[in-house]
Amino acid sequence: MDLDVFVTAHHAEWDRLDQLLGRGRRLTGAEVDELVALYQRTATHLSLLQSTTPDPALIARLTQLVSRARSTVTGTRQASWHDAARFLTAGFPAAVYRSRRWWIPSALLSIALAAVIGWWIASHPEVQASIGASADLREMTRPGGQYETYYSSHPAASFAAQVWTNNAKAAAICLVLGAFLCVPVLWILFINMLNLGVGIGLMTSAGRLDTFLGLLLPHGLLELTAVFVAAGTGLRLGWTLIDPGPRTRRAAMAQEGRAALGMAIGLALVLFVSGLIEGFVTPSGLPTWARITIGIAAEAAFLLYVYIWGGRAVRAGEQGDVERADRSAELPTAA
């Protein structure tokens, strides 16, 4: 294709489209029809140039022109309470449900790893000695030691806020780093399970595993589930980069990336609940059975929410993506 001839043949149409866009809402009915027709033709021109002509300046100009025209033709949509309700009742649970084949295996393998690490530490005094001096370990695991006072060492409200912030940050990191071929997510999971395994092993060796679980389970069930969901979603995102399936890699990453962004918001809400439990229930004077019951109830409520509402939404066609009107076009739309 002769670029100079092509530009000469069509630059008047591009200039006219730019002129109409500059007039904003002050267009007659005939001019609106003209704008739509020029938008469609310019989108076709852009698609043709992108596939045949390496002229970045011209492509950049037409890309901006088509983007402005698309916004004018399709209009802009303001977020509303309907969007928030749709996200909570369909989008978020559907995204978690769709990722279950990633986060459930991640959860099972991670818990198994933590159990193995805990058994290894509890069964080998030399490993315990490598972790810390015996006096320090006794201080950590004794009644009223660091493992127990950790949850009551700060005011409940500030502690809950701190825990929520840290956990939400960790979940977001898992979601974002998943795009780097899954490796960082696996490392984050390993570090979390290593810390959990150390606690299990040291408290088991001190004969106080029941106390440790009584402190962990009230908030840990929901908190760890949120971390596993974030990790599983990050792994899914990383695998999409490797194997996008029938979609183009760009389209697949865009869809899964938008779903992961929504997942970060939803998991922040889940972790807010677990932070409240960790700040107010875990260190409370309630009996151990009552605290664990609260944790199990919160975990069961989340799983029912995902499997009932999320499963229903997925069967209805929900993908956990944003509304179609809010998605960028994958390719310029031609007439």
| Residue with token string 């739509």 | 36
pTM comes to: 0.70
For residue 12, give its domain range: 3-74
Each residue's pLDDT tens digit, 137-151: 888 888 888 877 877
SS3 286: coil
Each residue's pLDDT tens digit, 204-216: 999 999 999 999 9
Q: What is the mean pLDDT of residues 32-41?
A: 86
70 and 105 housed in the same domain: no
Q: Has residue 5 got a pLDDT over 70?
A: yes
Query: CA torsion sign, 195 to 199 to 204 to 206?
Result: positive
**Spatial contact of 118 and 201, defined as CB atoms under 8 Å apart:** yes
104 and 23 housed in the same domain: no
Question: What is the pLDDT at residue 329?
Answer: 47
33 and 115 housed in the same domain: no
Mean pLDDT, the chain, rounded, equals 83
| Residue with token string 């229930």 | 281
Question: What is the pLDDT at residue 225?
Answer: 95
Question: What is the pLDDT at residue 333?
Answer: 43
Q: Is residue 9 part of a domain?
A: yes
106 and 53 housed in the same domain: no
Each residue's pLDDT tens digit, 83-126: 788 888 888 999 999 999 999 999 999 999 999 999 999 999 99
Q: Is residue 159 part of a domain?
A: yes
> Model confidence at 23, in pLDDT bands (50, 70, 90)?
confident
Task: Report the alpha-carbon distance of residue 212 to residue 136 in Å, rounded.
Answer: 17
Task: Report the alpha-carbon distance of residue 234 to residue 133 in Å, rounded.
Answer: 37
111 and 169 housed in the same domain: yes
